[in-house]
Structures are given as C-alpha cells and as structure tokens.
Amino acid sequence: MTGVATHCPYCALQCATSLHPAAEPGAVVVRPREFPTNRGGLCRKGWTAAEVLTAPDRLTAPLVRNAAGELVEASWDDALDFVAGRIRQLQTEHGNDAVAVFGGGGLTNEKAYALGKFARVALRTKNVDYNGRFCMSSAAAATNRAFGIDRGLPFPLTDVAGGAAVLLVGSNLAETMPPAVAHLAGAREGGGLLVVDPRRTATAQLTEDGAGIHLQATPGTDLALVLALTHVVLQEGLADTEYLAARTDDPDGLYRSTAAWWPERAERVTGVPAAVIRQAARVLAAAAPIHGGAGAFILTGRGAEQHSKGTDTVTACINLALALGLPGRVGSGYGCITGQGNGQGGREHGQKADQLPGYRSIADPAARQHLGAVWGVDPEDLPGPGQSAVELINALGTPDGPRALFVHGSNLVVSAPRLASVRDHLAALDLLVVADVVPSETALLADVVFPVTQWAEEDGTMTSLEGRVLRRKAAVTPPGDVRSDLAIFAGLAARLGCAASFPTDPAEVFEELRRASEGGIADYSGITYARLDAGEALYWPVPAEDHAGTPRLFADSFGTPDGRARVIAVDHRPVADDLTGGSPLYLVTGRLLQHYQSGAQTRRVVELAEAEPEVFVELHPRVAASLGVVDGAPVRLRTARGSMVAAARVTSDVRPDTVFVPFHYGGASAVNELTNDALDPISRMPEFKACAVEVSAEIAARGVPA
C-alpha cells in the first residue's frame, strides 16, 4: 500500500492526511498533507487517529442480547432477521412511527443520505433526527432566516487569514481546531483578535501582548454583549449605511432593536467593562471595508449557540455583521465554525427531522415530488416532519411515542442533556439497535449492536466547515465481520419488503444523492468522484458538471425571495436555569485539546487518554478558598437534574462566578447528567452551555471520595 490521500476523521476542519502501511495488520500511519485549511498541520487527535482502527475492544461481529441479558455474538443474518421481525411486529401493533432513527454528524454524506431515506422509505417513519441538533442547529436556524441559506462558512477559511479583525463568539479554536489558528495570524498582528468567552481559554490567551481583546463575559450573556457592540457601531457612525440600505430589508429595525443597549447597561449584564466594549467595537469597525480596513470577520461557535436563546444570539452576530457591511464582501463576512466532521453535509441530505436531501424542506410539495421520483415512491407516502432530537428522546418508550430506536454515529448517553432522563427513555424501549465501531456507553445498553466500518475503511465524501465536498478513501480492510451502515440499511430494507433500491456501494449512493439534491439549496448534482479525485475544489452549490462550484456566497444577493438579508430584532434574556441562592455559580461545559465529542474514540487512544484521563472541574481560587478545597480535591456539583463528583482544578482562567467541566467522559464522569434540556424555541437546541450549579467540598469516607 502506498500513501492513500484522505482526511482526518474528527472535526469539520477536515485536515488533509495520507495513510501509510504500518507493521500491525489493519493499521496505518497518519501523515499530514498540505491543504488550505490545515496548511500541512495536524493536532494531537489527528496524529493519533489511526489507533482507533486497532482499538483492543473494536467491535468485529454483531451482538444480540440473550435471555440472560448478555450481549453475545450472532451472525449477520440472525441479527438482521431478529431486528426486522421486531420492527414488523412493533409497526403492526403501534404504527409506522413506532420506530425512530437517530443519526450523527460524523457519518459520510452517503451514509447520512441513506439513513434519511431508510427512515422515510423503508421504515416509513417521521421520527428521524441526529446529533447535529446538539451542534450548530442554532446557527443554521439563524442563517436560514437571515440569509435564506445555511452554509457554515460562506467563504473559504483562507479568507480569514487576510482579515485585520476577527470576532470569535464562543469558539475555542486553539483547542478544538488547532491548525485553524494559523488563519488568525493577520488579525493578531494588528491587535484585531477579539474573543468572547467566560474562560481564559487557549484561544483567549492569543489576544495577549497587544494581539487583541478578551471579552470575558458572564455565561449566557453573549447576546447582550453583541447588542452593545452593534449599538456602538450604529451610534458612533461606524456602520455601512449604504450597504444596509441596499442589501437589507429593515435598517431602521436594526437601530431600534439595539438603541437601549448602551455599553454601560451591557456592562451590568455581562461584566465586560463599557470601555472594553467600545474599544472592541471600534477595532472591529476599523477593519471593515467601509473604513478602508483589510477585512473583518465574525465567527460563532457552540459557546454562543448551545443556549435556549442561541438562535437569537447568532442573529445578533449576523446583525452586527450587516451593520458593518461584511456578508458577501470578499475578505469579510459572518460564519459559523461547524464542529463535527460532517456537521455540514450531515444536515444537508435528509437526516434532520424536517429535511429532505439538498437541504429541502420535507413540508414542500415540490421537494416531496422530486424525491418521490428519485426514490420511486409516491410522494404522498413520504412522512411529514418529525420531532427534534431532545423531543424525540423524551418521547421514546412513552404510550404514544416510538417503541424502537436505531442509533447510527452517536453516543446519546454521554452527549445528550439530562442523562438520567435519556437512560430512562432508552430503557423503556422494546428495541434499541446501535451501529458503532466500539462498545460505546450507548452500545452497551442496546438489544442489538452492529459493528460498522470507520473512516480509513470506507469510501465516501464529507463536507467541510466551508461547504467544500471532500473525498474519504479506504486504505485498509475492516476487521472481522464488520460491514458498512449502507449494508445494514440494505439488509433491513429487503427484509421489510421495501421495493426501493438501497445500494451498498458508496459511489452508487453518491450518484443517487446527486440526483436527489439537484435543484436544492445544497445542490451536489455537478459533483462527481472523478472531479474530487482530480483535486478540484468544489464548494456547493455545484449545479452542473461544468460548474466550478461556489466558494463564496452572497456576492450579489442573499438566498431570500427578494435577495435582501433579513434584519431580525432580538433581545437578551437570562439563561433558562439561572442563579439562585442555593445554586450561586454557572456551570459551563466544553471540549479539551486531547479529546473529541463523547470521547468514545479518543478515550481509546493511549496518548490522549493519559494526557487527560479523568474529568475535572475548573474553579476560581476565590471559590476554592470559600469551599476550603485545594487543587485536586474532590468537589460535588449539583444542579436541578443531578450531581457528580470531580477533582478540582483551581485556576484564575475561569470567572469567579463560573465553573467549567469537559463533556468527553462517560458514566459517573458525564457532566451531561447536570445540563439542562431547555430548548431554543426556533432551533430546538438544548441549553448545554449554562445552568445554575451548587458546588461543595466532597467529604471523604474511609479515605475514599464519596
């Protein structure tokens, strides 16, 4: 085997790599490739990604739970027959919607597309959603209503490198996407890196020594801060008024909605000094094209979005960008930092509750007609919109809810909020089927576990945070009796008597996806494996094979009916579970450099697990002193939903009113036992990022922490 060109299996930066043979069978060595997003670099996760391929507990055969409650190996035919039989029985007794499907933002485009088709055509259920609802649904909702199109970055990431100012709202790039930090160099050189975060993260530290400004806001107040920044831009005459008049629908509404958010008021809400707010607004404005600057960018991440007001917070960021005349201008703009590896493509092709492939609405008669023709089914037979992820989970096992659940590419009992409730709903199911590469916490609860291929063992495509479609290529043969998710969909569809075709060859699936997406917002119809393999940089939409793709959106108009961006008035409101006398601190969660998502992969990589082996809680020294705890001592966290014990990590990098816990750990170390499942009314995103918490010293019993 010579080097196989592919991309990292983790985040949406999709760093380019090449895979080379290793001594151990089925193993490879990862080497970085030169590519615009990573510029030849990799983070620790990327360098060590190959270890997951040969994890000691890799799943290699189907598992079925026996009468004694044990998961035991079974043949594929027996496992598929069992699942199909139970599905037929449950749907006969309770209707088609008795079965639900939960997907993931790490699935290839081909698998995400096939999963949505399988749910709606083979299972005929409306109940399908995915873990991207936990990732960037608020940004998607905000950009859709403002611009008419949701593409994380509507410009190449390399454009950011030329900007003189970059405002990062709730994004810790230095730990979540380290190679992307290179694109912030231009902003840092001129003192234009602006970071909004309640913690002094590795990214916030990049603003030091004159490189920028850290706006260390109180958790849950990003919206108020951005309203104040916009207030300064508008009231000090820094706005691009000609742009607002020509390219937005309601410039006056922008002035009205921010008039009351003078910096002194915002200081009382956010804790960021009024003078710092004014300084940050002026730095950002100076970089805008209207003032002759080199360019300005506003980028949001999960810290801004994972709130019950996340859509409004992103909307405020978009409004600020519009005030400065940034969207659609080369070298400036607003964008969202997509998290999961295929977080962009994963939400475009049908595994969201309300979508059909091509980013079409499932409620649109024309979209249903188009997909009915591609799939060979009557459009009237396609189900309507289903429930969002949290609502779907909360319906599982209830009298009128789904009785069976398929999980592909997600680890719900670590990644979902209010985990005690999640486990209860999963336990109430008559059938839980999980497809995974390792025995994740969710897989261990399943009635049937299907072992599936992972990144270096499969062909397909991924779509990066820029909307660029990339080729994933197989480099090794999967171990044991491992099969692709595509084979599972095909095997079950045939057993359920579905007449529609379910190809197992990714190339054949992609050809169908091209037809399915044709004419949609996310149009892939002009993309072919041959073009991608030849190295063409294809950003959707690509409506024809002779079309060069669309690296930059909105140059002439937005995706709204009249081509103008929508100015949506928004206002600040507190977090759903706000501070009380008994719970006087905010709990925030986030990621570490060494780990990824629920940790099912990275906790199995020795180097990464040894670097951060256990969960911890960051406490400000003032809080630690008030509790009488020292660094490393156990503390108990309690919220209205649960409690956990973790070792204290005392640091002044966190605000005195805030504690931080990483969310990569399972079992008793899962912080999502404590997080709130209150939902954003528009995106249906749960409020992971802020809730009231009580912290107390944990009393040791017989020398062992309780």
Please name the amino acid found at residue 354.
Answer: D
Here the CATH number for the domain that contains residue 653 is 2.40.40.20
Nearby residues of 625 by Cβ (< 8 Å), 6 or more positions away: none
- pLDDT for 698 beyond 90: yes
Residue 681 is assigned to a structural domain of this protein? yes
- pLDDT for 515 beyond 70: yes
Q: What would the pLDDT profile of 484-497 be if each residue is shown by its tens digit?
A: 999 999 999 999 99
Q: What would the pLDDT profile of 178-216 be if each residue is shown by its tens digit?
A: 999 999 999 999 999 999 999 999 999 999 999 999 999
DSSP annotation of 242: H
With vertex at residue 323, the alpha carbon angle to CA 319 and CA 325, rounded to the nearest 5 degrees, is 110
pLDDT-based confidence at 22, cuts 50/70/90?
A: confident
Average pLDDT over residues 158-187: 97
Give the domain extent around 268: 137-336
- pLDDT for 328 beyond 70: yes
d(CA 366, CA 284): 43
* More confident site: 701 or 241: 241
Q: Answer yes or no: do 274 and 348 share one domain.
A: no
Q: Answer yes or no: do 358 and 495 share one domain.
A: yes
> pLDDT at position 174, please?
97
- pLDDT for 2 beyond 80: no
Nearby residues of 65 by Cβ (< 8 Å), 6 or more positions away: 71, 72, 446, 447, 448
Select from 473, 505, 521 the last residue of a domain: 521
Q: Answer yes or no: do 242 and 323 share one domain.
A: yes
Residue 60 is assigned to a structural domain of this protein? no
Here the CATH number for the domain that contains residue 473 is 3.40.50.740
> pLDDT at position 700, please?
60
Q: What would the pLDDT profile of 44-53 be if each residue is shown by its tens digit?
A: 999 999 999 9
Q: What would the pLDDT profile of 79-91 be if each residue is shown by its tens digit?
A: 999 999 999 999 9
Please name the amino acid found at residue 220.
Answer: G
> pLDDT at position 24, please?
80
> pLDDT at position 258, please?
98
Give one DSSP letter per residue of 480-522, joined into a string. Answer: TT-B-HHHHHHHHHHHTT--S----SHHHHHHHHHHHHTTSSS
Is residue 185 within 8 Å of 158, Cβ to Cβ?
no
Select from 280, 310, 336 the last residue of a domain: 336
Is residue 551 within 8 Å of 234, Cβ to Cβ?
no
Q: What would the pLDDT profile of 290-315 be if each residue is shown by its tens digit?
A: 999 999 999 999 999 999 999 999 99
Residue 216 is assigned to a structural domain of this protein? yes
Average pLDDT over residues 587-605: 96
Q: Answer yes or no: do 252 and 328 share one domain.
A: yes
Average pLDDT over residues 206-233: 98
Q: Answer yes or no: do 120 and 147 share one domain.
A: no
> pLDDT at position 705, please?
46
Here the CATH number for the domain that contains residue 28 is 2.20.25.90
Residue 532 is assigned to a structural domain of this protein? no
Q: Answer yes or no: do 113 and 225 share one domain.
A: no
Q: Answer yes or no: do 285 and 269 share one domain.
A: yes
* More confident site: 702 or 40: 40
Q: Answer yes or no: do 443 and 477 share one domain.
A: yes
- pLDDT for 631 beyond 80: yes
Is residue 32 within 8 Å of 40, Cβ to Cβ?
yes
Residue 540 is assigned to a structural domain of this protein? no
Here the CATH number for the domain that contains residue 280 is 3.40.228.10
Q: Answer yes or no: do 188 and 271 share one domain.
A: yes
Residue 580 is assigned to a structural domain of this protein? no
Q: What would the pLDDT profile of 538-553 be if each residue is shown by its tens digit?
A: 999 999 999 999 999 9
Average pLDDT over residues 100-117: 97
Q: What would the pLDDT profile of 387-430 be if each residue is shown by its tens digit?
A: 999 999 999 999 999 999 999 999 999 999 999 999 999 999 99
Select from 336, 367, 399 the last residue of a domain: 336
Is residue 147 within 8 Å of 555, Cβ to Cβ?
no
* More confident site: 62 or 699: 62
d(CA 580, CA 692): 7
Average pLDDT, the chain: 96
Residue 596 is assigned to a structural domain of this protein? yes
Name the pTM for this structure.
0.96
- pLDDT for 225 beyond 60: yes
- pLDDT for 701 beyond 50: no
Q: Answer yes or no: do 319 and 404 share one domain.
A: no
Q: Give the H/E segment covering residue 435.
A: strand 431-436
In this structure, what are the phi and psi dihedrals at residue 378, rounded to the nearest 5 degrees?
-70, 125
d(CA 315, CA 8): 31
Q: Answer yes or no: do 274 and 325 share one domain.
A: yes
Average pLDDT over residues 112-140: 96
Q: Answer yes or no: do 270 and 166 share one domain.
A: yes
Based on the structure, what is the number of domains in the chain? Answer: 4
Residue 229 is assigned to a structural domain of this protein? yes
d(CA 313, CA 306): 10
Please name every residue paired with 298 in a beta bridge, in sequence order, or none if there are none. Answer: 167, 334
